[in-house]
Every structure is written in structure tokens, then in C-alpha cells.
Structure 1
């Protein structure tokens, strides 16, 4: 089953007892990590990739939401996934990586995979220009400021993340600080590994080499999943 590259629909694929909650980025949708979702489902995992509040074509506008709403949407999806799975793993891209780390700081999970996590984001204007070209109508300033507050919160919480963490980041990513991945792996309490992807930008799940990235993520999760080996 291939996940559509342009759809803004949420994704849920029922597989075995090992589940993965996958979270998209700011202003995006699960399609941003479609190839990775396809790879995880092919390994027999149950995959849940919700459309977070304020995102996509339905629901409240992004300008009307804050990071607490995005977190609440992720928490609800994780709770639902926990009802059918005996083991949970977290995957997040960009803003979704921040939310995944926030969740991991508060509950036991099997592992975390953080793609292009903007943990050092501290200036709401730093992303504004790039997002203006990426998002129709430009980024809502209030939501963008809330994203910065989320990054600051997660930096304080990293010490509470004890699950194994894989941080993946493109060496040509101009959307986030170059030291973001290194900062992340230094400050979590569990084992952590940084994978720098040569010649890749921010959207590592969709760019050239996406199949390799998808395979690496699938390997990372399945090797750590009880009773599920690649």
C-alpha cells in the first residue's frame, strides 16, 4: 500500500501489535512522510498518522490553533493506537518531531525517530520567509510564535526522554539550525544516534533518496520492536 504524496488525509494502517504514531510538520500533512509510512506498513506495523488540528482543508484554521492543540491531537491519536497495540514507537517530521519528543518525555515508548527536528528554533521570523513560499497565504504569525514556544518547551524536556532516539537531518537543511540534531542527541537521557544525510534538505521523507531514508527509519523501529525484526 503506497501513501499518496499529495493527500492531506490522515493515515491509519492496521498491522500487528507494534504501533507507530507518525506526526507531520507545521502547515503540512501526513503526505510529507508518505514513503516512510508505506515502508512501516510493509513491515507489518500498525501505523497512525493523524492530521493535526488546524492543518489540512478541514477543521479550524492554523491561525486559530496553538501548540497545545497540536499536542492534544497527537495525544488522542496515541491513546487510540495504544488501545490496539502492545508496543508504541514515535516518528515525527519537523514540528511533528518536537511533539514526538514531548510525548516521549512524558510516557514510556519503544523508540523515537526525529526527522529534521527544529529544537533550536528561537526566532519566529527565521522561518517566515521560507514558509511563505510553502504555505498558501503565508504562515500565521500567532501559530509560528507558538511553534517557537513549543521548541523552547521541548529543549527543557529533552532530559526526560529515555527512549532510544534516532535523529536524522539533511546536511543542506536551511530551515533549521545546523546544530539541531547534535544538540538533540547530546541532551536526551537515553541512547541516541545522529544520522546526517548528505546532500539532503529539510523534507528528507520526500527528497532524493527518500526510499533509503524510509528503509533506515523502518529498520530503526523494527529492530527495537519486540517480536518484529526486519
Structure 2
């Protein structure tokens, strides 16, 4: 669990420091809580950091049902633009749907990004309800929440206890667009994924690795963590590896 109070940790974070920028994107129905320890580590390392709160998150699942993938993409795009304005080089990092957004930014703005870090990223789902989601979302507003898939006792991301289905359908459409353009990604990639993940299927990591065009790719399997690995037993490994990656890919930028 993050050591900060929930009310503080769920707020967006914006820190201007060095000339290397790091944009960190949280996941679906979550908030900056799940990423705050990672963001704080990046600040400690002297990087300028943006950790935005995505629209519809950190409030209520009902409000989230009124937002779209384009809304979420708009928030991280604005944060990227802020960092690009003041930093000589930027790396984008994301967890779960934050990984989807990271991939999409890499597709849309490759010239603005030095590399990307993905933790349990999602671009598809094999869940049965996805097939009927376009109809189901009009009949049922929400299903049971998917938060706190964490092996470490006592850790929590304080996400929604319900999963808003119109928002899920918006995410599904975002997955499709991102999945179709994976071949356009040629940036350096650090991909960390949990061996056991009860939210995002392992087919996601395999598909991303198969489809991207990047030649500089590092894959790390997280042996001790579930989906929200940034709050789990492998958090320090994620932070250490991402710091080394950021320093390496921005060294000559």
C-alpha cells in the first residue's frame, strides 16, 4: 500500500525537476494511487514527472461511464505535451490500460518519446462478456469490480468496486485501434508482465511482442506479483529497471 493517505495519493502529480521527463499512466477504474510509489521514485531520481488523473477516475464509476477512450487519451496527451515543452527527452510508462494509452502515444507521437515502459499492458481480452458487451452495456450499467489483484497482503489501489460497462466498451474500442497499429511502434520498449495475472491475460504481452517493430526490447517476467504489480512484491524491481531504462534511452537524446 502506498504510504500516502488515499486522498493525497489519488491526486494527479506534477513535478518539474530535471530535463528528462517521465509520464506515468494509471489503469482502468484506478487512480494515481496505483502509480504514486513509482512516480515518487522517479522524482527522487531527479526526473520531471507527470502522473495525471484520467477523466472519470477517482470520483465514481457512474461518472466514468460517461467518459471515453479519447477522453483518457486526451489527458495523457496533454501531459506529454507539457513534458515535451520543458524536457529534452521523455519516456512514457503505463500499467494495464495505462499501458494501452502508452502504446497509443507511441503510435501517434513517436518523435516526442524516447522509449516506453509497459507493466501488464492490455490490448485485448478473452473474457466471454466482451463478445456481448455492445448489447450488455445498455442492459446492465456495471459488474463486479476488478481492482486490487495484488499478491501482497494489505496493499490496495483504492479503485472502484464496480466496473462501468459503457466505459469498458470504450476501452475495448481503444484496444482495437491500438492493436491494429502495433506494427508502427519502433521505439525502445521495456515490458514487465506478471506470470500470474487475474485481470489481463498473458496473450496480451505475447501479442505486443509479436506485433511491434521495435528492435530494442527488454522483457521481464514478474514472478511474485499479480496484476497491480506497481504495488506488489516486484515493485522495487519495476522501479529499478525503469530508472535504468530511462537513463539509457535518454542518454544521447
Contact 1:124–1:148 under 8 Å retained in 2: no
- In 1, the alpha carbon distance for the partners of 2:227 and 2:239 equals 15
Alignment pair present for 1:199 and 2:224: yes
Aligned twin of 1:184: 208
The structure 2 residue matched to 1:93, chosen from 89, 95, 109, is 95
- The answer on 1:174 being equivalent to 2:189 is no
Task: Report Cα offsets for 1:122-168 as digits up to 9, x if no partner.
Answer: 54836954527874451111001111111111111111111111111
Does the 8 Å contact 1:92/1:114 carry over to 2? yes
Unaligned runs of 5+ in 1: none
Count of matched residue positions in the alignment of Structure 1 and Structure 2 = 226
Identify which of 36, 42, 45 aligns with 1:43.
Answer: 45
Contact 1:167 1:184 in 2 (8 A): no
Aligned to 2:137: none
Distance 2:193 2:219 in 1: 8
Match of 1:120 in 2: 124
User: CA RMSD of the aligned region, Å?
Assistant: 2.4
Q: How does 1:115-154 map to 2 (within 5 A)?
A: 115-121=119-125, 123=127, 125=129, 128-131=143-146, 135-136=159-160, 138-154=162-178
Cα distance 1:186–1:25, how it changes in 2: closer, same or farther (>3 A)? same
Q: Does 1:220 align with 2:235?
A: no
Between 1:101-110 and 1:191-200, the stretch displaced more is 191-200
TM-score by length of 2: 0.82
- What secondary structure does 1:150 align onto? helix
Q: Give the C-alpha shift of residue 5 in structure 1.
A: 6.6
Q: What are the superposed Cα offsets for residues 34-69 of structure 1, whole Å, 9 maximum, x if unpaired?
A: 2211221122110101101111138x9101101011
CA distance in 2, matches of 1:73, 1:27: 15
| CA separation of 1:124 and 1:89: change in aligned 2, threshold 3 A | farther
Cross-structure match for 2:54: 52
Distance 1:5 1:150, change over 3 A: farther
Q: Whole-Å Cα distance in 2 between the matches of residues 62 and 124 of structure 1?
A: 22
